[in-house]
A and B are shown apart, each in its own frame.
Chain A
Amino acid sequence: MAALAYADGQGAGIDHARIRRRNRRRAELARHLLLIVVTFLLVAPFYYVFLASLKNSTAIFSYPPSLLPIPLYLDNYHNLLWNTGFLRWMFNTLFVASSVTLIKVFMDSMAGYALAKIDMRGKRVIFLLMLILLMVPIGALIVPLWSLVSAVGLTDTYLALILPPLANPLGAILMRQFILGLPRDLDNAARLDGLSDFGIYWRIVLPLIKPGLVVLAVIIFTDQFMSFLWPLIATTSDDLQVLTVGVAGLRAHGGANYGLWSASAVMSLIPISVFFFVLQRQFLARSLAGALKQ
């Protein structure tokens, strides 16, 4: 091939281009190999647990482990769904996370509108306080939060699960940022046309920041889906346990039951996986753009 190429006048140039192309292809191949190894390492644990969830306890403990779940054993799932509170926990998590998300998306976008568009005395102090307290976790506040919630008699209610997460200032800060990014002329024109602040917020700002709202909803929902420490101490009755608390309870009580644990791990991941699959772009690209913009 190479000899043939040299036969005509431009041979050397073609050869050079071919080498470069070949190098580039090699580099691409190396990148793929590397990424395959990395993703394999990251994903293999899921497969191992998925496998265990489809085995009975003797098969889990046997060596060498079979890499395919044959024969298929579904009792772990049956056990999880009908003999534990799993479905109730799942409902509680989805209910609490959806409530927090819905309330917070409205609350934060309204706060963001005020912070971005309206002159108010004391606004700068409030915003500074929000930035400073942004990273303080609920975990460091469980003592005063618990005593506050129990003082007003809210322990062991849905409200105890829903209210404290509403305080997180991240959403309002993000929404302020998004709204500041909108062109100014739009709401000036709307105001001249006689729209009130509420009208501008509802009919102009909200539709324009829709992508930002979706990102915010994704962030809040995932945070709530994963939250553990506050629900653990805020509720005591079985009926109010959220998924993370219930699953942790499986580990804490009733001895080692690896089959049940693996089934609960797999089932816990289903809702968030579906969510992620549908909103992949918002999860990956948009949220990062938002974080970087900040």
Chain B
Amino acid sequence: MTGTAAGRLRLSRAEHRSLSRKARRRRELTGWVFLGPFLACFLVFLVLPVAGTIWWSTRAGSIFGGTKFMGFRNFVELPGVVGAWSSIENTLLFAVYSVPAILVGALAIALVLARVRRGASIYRFLVYFPVLVPGVVAALIWLFLTNVDFGLFNEVIRLFGGKPVIWLGADNALLVLAVLDVWRNVGYWAMFFVAAIIGLPTELYQAAELDGASAPARFRYLTLPLLRRIIFFAIVVSTIWGLQVFDTALVLTNGGPGTATTTVIFRVWQYVFASNNKVGFASAISLVLIVAILALTVLQMRLLRDRRGRD
């Protein structure tokens, strides 16, 4: 077009540059308009609170007013504060109990579910169903399973002539909470693994079968290596989720007995809103959690970049 319109439409280099700069600037402005609403919410309700946690962690007092600057004292004193260390311990222990069980269970279910020919959609529906239960409701349901007198678990134990167990006693409560989490999350990761397994190249498996590789060998030398990155992703994300446990600990056991199921977020909530006014300690312990989650996230991002590099 510019060619045929000869001299009249031809622009000088300077004019051309300024026009294209103007167009680019207008387009960039459009971009900010598109990004703006989300970005505003993101900055105000996520970036600012993360920074705010750092600020609050240097203060002492009540969230309802009247705090004073403490510097790093909160962090120095944190290990000695009632319940701070035990909440970290409980949370880590909870993750150690639940994450491996969730992922091993999910992988086992997925291996079977990916190969089943008839009725797969019914199984998927049922396996996934507990995933949709809010934590509060799941905890209510588990009150009916763990009740000493009429709970389902003890009914089954009695059926086989065993002695009833106090499921929510100090020794078992955290473990029960972890099993509840397995019940709620195993379906999520099972579906995740099913999608991954279905996406694996079938030729490899046909070749392996022709070579006489047994099913365990195919799993060990084909499925597992092929799913390595997927599994790593699942480990990181489910660990991050595990570190956030709160709803079920509040409704099922109310953090107890004693401090047996008091998790980090439970403690934060308690320090601020339930009884005490330890907003500084609450923020300090939140910050520990945030840093742990950020470290895991960055670890996982490096893994993703790795994959992109290889493709």
A-to-B contact residues, CB < 8 Å:
28, 31-32, 34-35, 38-39, 42-46, 48-49, 52, 60-65, 107-108, 110-111, 113-115, 118-121, 123, 126, 129-137, 139-148, 163-164, 166-169, 172, 196-198, 201, 222, 225-226, 228-229, 233, 243-245, 247-248, 251, 258, 261-262, 264-265, 268-269, 272-273, 276, 280, 283-285, 288-289, 291-292, 294
Whether B150 pairs with A167 at a CB distance below 8 angstroms is no
**Complex alpha-carbon distance, A164 and B49, angstroms:** 10
B112: contacting residue among A35, A48, A136, A288, CB under 8 A: A35
A273-B132 contact given A34-B112, A42-B126, A248-B251, CB 8 Å threshold? yes
Whether A142 pairs with B52 at a CB distance below 8 angstroms is no
Whether A28 pairs with B116 at a CB distance below 8 angstroms is yes
Q: What are 16 contact pairs spanning A and B, CB under 8 A?
A: A31-B115, A42-B130, A113-B34, A137-B293, A143-B282, A144-B48, A144-B55, A147-B63, A169-B38, A228-B246, A244-B137, A265-B137, A272-B132, A276-B132, A280-B121, A288-B191
Main secondary structure of the interface of A (DSSP, over half): helix
Q: Which residues of B contact A280 (CB under 8 A)?
A: 121, 125
- Give min CB distance, B238 to chain A, whole Å: 11
Q: Which residues of A contact B244 (CB under 8 A)?
A: 137, 139-140
Whether B137 pairs with A110 at a CB distance below 8 angstroms is no
Q: Which residues of B contact A44 (CB under 8 A)?
A: 152
- Give min CB distance, A284 to chain B, whole Å: 5
B-to-A contact residues, CB < 8 Å:
24, 27-28, 30-32, 34-35, 37-39, 41-42, 44-53, 55-56, 63, 109, 112-113, 115-119, 121, 123-130, 132-137, 139-145, 147, 149-150, 152, 155, 158, 183, 186-187, 191-192, 194-196, 199, 230, 237, 240, 244, 246-247, 250-251, 265, 268-269, 272-273, 279, 282-283, 286, 289-290, 293-294, 296-298, 301, 304
A268-B134 contact given A118-B28, A148-B48, A288-B195, CB 8 Å threshold? yes
**Complex alpha-carbon distance, A60 and B192, angstroms:** 38
- Give min CB distance, B253 to chain A, whole Å: 11
Whether B301 pairs with A131 at a CB distance below 8 angstroms is yes
Whether B35 pairs with A115 at a CB distance below 8 angstroms is yes
A247: contacting residue among B115, B140, B286, CB under 8 A: B140
Question: A133-B50, A197-B31, A229-B246 are known contacts; what are 6 more A-B pairs with Cβ within 8 Å?
Answer: A35-B116, A135-B240, A135-B297, A142-B272, A248-B250, A268-B137
**Complex alpha-carbon distance, A241 and B68, angstroms:** 33
Whether A63 pairs with B155 at a CB distance below 8 angstroms is yes
- Give min CB distance, A60 to chain B, whole Å: 6
B116: contacting residue among A32, A45, A141, CB under 8 A: A32
Q: Which residues of B contact A167 (CB under 8 A)?
A: 41-42, 44-46
A222-B132 contact given A233-B269, A288-B192, CB 8 Å threshold? yes
Whether A225 pairs with B134 at a CB distance below 8 angstroms is yes
Whether B195 pairs with A110 at a CB distance below 8 angstroms is no
A-B contact count, CB below 8 Å? 275
**Complex alpha-carbon distance, A142 and B48, angstroms:** 12
B290: contacting residue among A115, A140, A222, CB under 8 A: A140
- Give min CB distance, B99 to chain A, whole Å: 15
**Complex alpha-carbon distance, A244 and B247, angstroms:** 9
Q: Which residues of B contact A130 (CB under 8 A)?
A: 42
- Give min CB distance, B119 to chain A, whole Å: 7
- Give min CB distance, A271 to chain B, whole Å: 10
A140-B45 contact given A45-B144, A248-B136, CB 8 Å threshold? no
Nearest opposing residue in chain A for B296, CB measure: A135
A141-B286 contact given A35-B123, A45-B183, A229-B247, CB 8 Å threshold? yes
Whether B293 pairs with A135 at a CB distance below 8 angstroms is yes
Q: Which residues of B contact A110 (CB under 8 A)?
A: 34-35, 37-38
**Complex alpha-carbon distance, A258 and B139, angstroms:** 13
**Complex alpha-carbon distance, A163 and B49, angstroms:** 13
Whether B63 pairs with A146 at a CB distance below 8 angstroms is yes
Nearest opposing residue in chain B for A39, CB measure: B126
- Give min CB distance, B98 to chain A, whole Å: 15
Q: Which residues of B contact A261 (CB under 8 A)?
A: 140, 143-144
Q: Which residues of A contact B55 (CB under 8 A)?
A: 144
A42-B63 contact given A111-B35, A119-B24, CB 8 Å threshold? no
Whether A145 pairs with B45 at a CB distance below 8 angstroms is yes
- Give min CB distance, A24 to chain B, whole Å: 10
**Complex alpha-carbon distance, A242 and B186, angstroms:** 26
**Complex alpha-carbon distance, A31 and B110, angstroms:** 11
A141-B128 contact given A31-B112, A284-B191, A291-B192, CB 8 Å threshold? no
- Among B38, B44, B199, the most chain A Cβ lie within 10 Å of the Cβ of B38
Whether B150 pairs with A60 at a CB distance below 8 angstroms is yes
**Complex alpha-carbon distance, A114 and B296, angstroms:** 28
